[in-house]
Amino acid sequence: MELTIDEQMAILMRGVDYGDPQIKENMEKELRERLIESQETGRPLRVYLGVDPTAPDLHLGHTVPMRKLRQFQDLGHECIFLIGNFTGLIGDPSDKDSARRQMTPEELEENARTYVEQAFRILDPERTIIKYNAEWLAPLTFADIIKLASNFTVQQFLARENFAKRIERGDPIWLHEFLYGLMQGYDAVALQTDVQIGGVDQLFNLLAGRKLQEYFGQRPQVIITLPILVGTDGKLRMSKTTGNAIGINEPPEEMYGKIMSIPDSAMLNYFNLLTRYTPAQIAEIEEGLQTGQLHPRDVKMQLAREIVSIFHGEEAVGPAEEHFKRVFQQRQLPEEMPEYRLSQPEMVLDVLVGAGLVSSRSEGRRLIRQGGVRLDGQVVQTIDTAINPDREHILQVGRRRFVRIVSE
C-alpha cells in the first residue's frame, strides 16, 4: 500500500537536525512539494549521500545518514552512494579544528575498494547507484574553479565555527581547505540532485550545493542533515582518526564490547541514531533511566544486542554477549575503578607504572612473566605488548587491582 505524503514526511523528517528552526521549516516545505510532484508525475526523487574514503572501513557514524538514504530507497526514490575519491584529496574540514593530512590518490583508491561492499550492509545493492566524484571534478579547469569561487565570499567561509576557532588560536587555515565546499557543492550540480543527505556539521557544504545549482540554472536541492554520533569516548564525533570509532565490519564480540564501553551519557544518542526503536520506545527507556527503574548496565546491554543484531544478525548476539560476560562480568570487575588516559599507543609496562598499579618497572616485568597481568581479560604474554587508544580497555594486576584505560 502506498504511503500518504504525511506518512512519508514522518519517516523522512524523523531525527533530522539543522541547528536552525527556519532552515528546518523551509526544508520541510520544499521536501513536501517535491514528494507531491513525484507522486503526481511518477518521477522518483534523485537523492544522494557522499562519503570520502579517508579510512579503510566505514564506522557506525557513517550509517546514520546511510539509513536515511535507505528510507528514501524504500519509498521508491533513486538513490546514489557517492564515493568522494576526489574530494578526499582535501578532506572535509567541517568537523576539524586543524587541517587534515592530505591523502594520496593511491590511498583513497585502496580505501574505496571496500566501501561499496560495506555500504550494502545498509543499502539495497539492486537499487543503489554508485558514483565517484573524480569523474566530474578532475576535468575542471582553473577557469571553472574561478566561476565556482565567485559565488562565495571569504567572510562566509571564515564565519564557520571550526575556522573561527582556528583564527582565534592563531592556527593556520590553508587555502585548499576553502575548495572543499566548492567541490562538494559541485557534486550536486553534476548529479542534478533533488535531495542531499549529510551530517549537521556539513550544513555549509550542502547549502553551497543549493547555491551552485541555482547558479547553473537548476532547482536547488532539499537538504537533510542529521545529528552527529559521538564516539566511544562519549564526547567527540565518531572518527577513525580520533580512535573512538566502531567499525561496521568489526567482529560481533568487539562491537558488543565497544558498545558496553561507551559512557552512560551517550546511550540515548546511540538509541536515537542507530537502533530500530520507535521514538515512543526510546522515550520509555529514557524515563526508566531517569526514575531508576532501569539500570544503565542493563539498558546498555539491550543497546549492544540491538546493534550487533543489525550488523551481524540475531544469531551473533548470544555468543557476543557470552564473550562479554566471560571476559568482564565473571571476573567480577568493580563498577568503580581509576582511569588512565591514553593519547597514543603505550606499552603495558609503561601503563602499569604510570597508573600506579606497580611500584617499579622491575615489579611490572616480574608480574608479566608470572602471568599476573591481564588486558581485557586476557593474560599479557610479553612486556612488548602495546595498548592502543582505539577504545576502552581494562588492565588488571592480580585479583583486585584494576584500571580503566580510556582515550584522551
For the stretch 350-399, pLDDT in tens is 889 888 888 788 888 888 888 888 888 778 888 888 888 777 888 888 76
The structural domains of the chain, with segments of one domain joined by +, span 5-226, 252-331, 339-407
Average pLDDT of span 199-208: 90
Per-residue pLDDT averaged across 245-257, rounded?
87
Name the CATH code of domain 252-331 (choices 1.10.3720.10, 3.40.190.10, 1.10.150.130, 1.10.240.10): 1.10.240.10
The dihedral formed by the CA atoms of 363, 364, 369 and 375, expressed in degrees to the nearest 10: 150
Provide CATH code, domain 339-407.
3.10.290.10
C-beta neighbour count of 154 within 10 angstroms? 9
Query: DSSP secondary structure string, 203-226?
Result: HHHHHHHHHHHHHTTPPPPEEEEE
- Which residue type, as a one-letter code, is found at position 366? R
Residue 125 burial (10 A CB sphere; 0-12, 13-18, 19+): exposed
Q: What is the pLDDT of residue 97?
A: 46
pLDDT tens, position by position, 77-122: 999 999 988 888 876 555 444 445 667 777 788 777 788 888 888 9
Cα–Cα distance, 405 to 408 (Å, whole number): 9
Cβ atoms of residues 275 and 306 within 8 Å: yes
pLDDT tens, position by position, 271-325: 989 998 888 899 999 999 999 898 988 999 999 999 999 999 999 999 889 878 8
Which residue's C-alpha cell is 582556528? 166
8 A C-beta contact, residue 274 and residue 121: no
Distance CA 371, CA 382 (A): 9
Distance CA 99, CA 166 (A): 10
Domain topology for 5-226: Rossmann fold (3.40.50)
Structural contact between residues 9 and 222, judged by C-beta atoms closer than 8 angstroms: no
Task: Enter the DSSP assignment of 240.
Answer: T
pLDDT > 80? residue 54:
no
CA-nearest of 254, 245, 273, 274 to 56 is: 245
Percent helix, strand and coil across the chain, each rounded to 5? 50, 15, 35
pLDDT at res. 98: 45
Q: What is the chain's mean pLDDT, rounded?
A: 86
pLDDT band at 64 (very low <50, low <70, confident <90, very high): very high
Name the more confident of 176 and 124: 124
